Structure formats: C-alpha cells, structure tokens
Structure 1
C-alpha cells in the first residue's frame, strides 16, 4: 500500500479518536475550560483529569517511541531538538494561554467544535487562522 495513503489513514484515525475523546470529555464546551480556570469561583476540576489522562498517554507513547528504530510510516521520528527556553517561546505560551482562557478553546477542540455550528466557534477559528497566518508571514520575514 502507498505510504502516503497509510500516513493519511493513520492521521485521520488519530484525529477521529482525538475529536471523539474531546467530545466525550466535554472539552468542546468552552464554559468547561473557563470553569477550570476560574479557581476563585465555581472551579470545575474535570479538565485536570483530561489533562492528566493526556500526560499518561503521552508518557507511554514517548516510552514506546524510544524502543522503536523508526515510526511505522516514516523513516525518522520528528521530535524537537531545541531545548532552550527563550523569549518567543515564553511570549507565545502567554498568548496561547490568554486566548485559551478568554475563548475557552485551544486549536484542537476549536476545530472539533465547528461541528456544533456555533457562531462564536466559527469566529474563534477564523481569528485563530488569521493569527497563525500573520505569525507565519511576519516571523518568516524576521528570520
């Protein structure tokens, strides 16, 4: 079978499982995320369990990756090599966190929430795509 078709199929299956998990856990509801961030009000701890589960799955995945010589559908693993914490990383993390707190979405759940057809979700995703495009165009000029 063609390697590209296998890669596409694996990516599609992963995305479907991810989206189903987000839906099942209630993370497509921005109020759930904002409730988690509201530590001095009516705090909703459910996101902590979702994040904890994600850390466990990622940890297991990294351990399995270390035992493999190469991934199933590629010649090498593509892992970050830069471990430096610099200003762009800190600023980008802060902007991501602000957007996450204000909008109640991060990119994956925002895209999955488009299936709900809510106007605020469409607005968030459009704004996210505009921001990504601006960043790519401005950042590539500066480097």
Structure 2
C-alpha cells in the first residue's frame, strides 16, 4: 500500500511524537489515509490517543503490546498544542510545586483557562482531565 508506506516514512523522519490525522491528508484521499492509519495502529507503529490523534509506539516489555513511546503526561500537552489549546498545570500540581500541598496529584490534569474542552485523550484506561478556572 503506497499511502501507508509514505505515512510510515513520514512518521519515521519526524522528531514529533504526536500526530494529527490532518497532517497526513496530503498523502491521499480521506478513505486511504484512514485505512493506512488503521493498519499502522494494528501493526504497532502508532497508537491512538483520541479521535484523529496518534502517537509513535513501542512494544511494551511487560505485555508485548504497543504502547506510546512517552507517558501521557508528555504526549497530551503536545497533542493539545497542535490542536491550538493553551493549557497550564492543574490546580493540584500547581499547589504541590509551590509547596502549598504535600499531596501528589493523581492522574493527568490540565487547566484550560476559561475554554471548555470536550476532547477525550488517553491510552490504556488513563485519560486527561480538564479543569477550568475563571481568573
């Protein structure tokens, strides 16, 4: 499959770890790109983080299944930046970093300001949580 090979080569040559589906639209029709991305996810080259959001994959030492090459805490901000969403650390992480709290933040939480985000990003049962502050 020509489109799949071109996308695979493009992924290998890029320094990015996160890709949007729209970045591959120049390689073929919508159906061809969708099919190629499905094959790349099935073969373990990519993992799907959300609708139209993919990350480079590696094989897990424990399960032998494909997992993202970096943790969700690193990949999610990259994906949101590519989607044009400005984020900051969540309230719990800000308090922990400032020394106001000794409790480590659980999960991946980002503050999106006054913007409401409805996009589900995650992998393996762990998903990004969005919180809003109206400062």
* TM > 0.5 fold call: no
Q: Report the structure, 1 or 2, having the larger helix content.
A: 1
Q: Report the structure, 1 or 2, having the larger strand content.
A: 2
Smaller-chain TM-score range?
A: under 0.3
Q: Which has the higher contact order (CA 8 A, sep 6+)?
A: 1
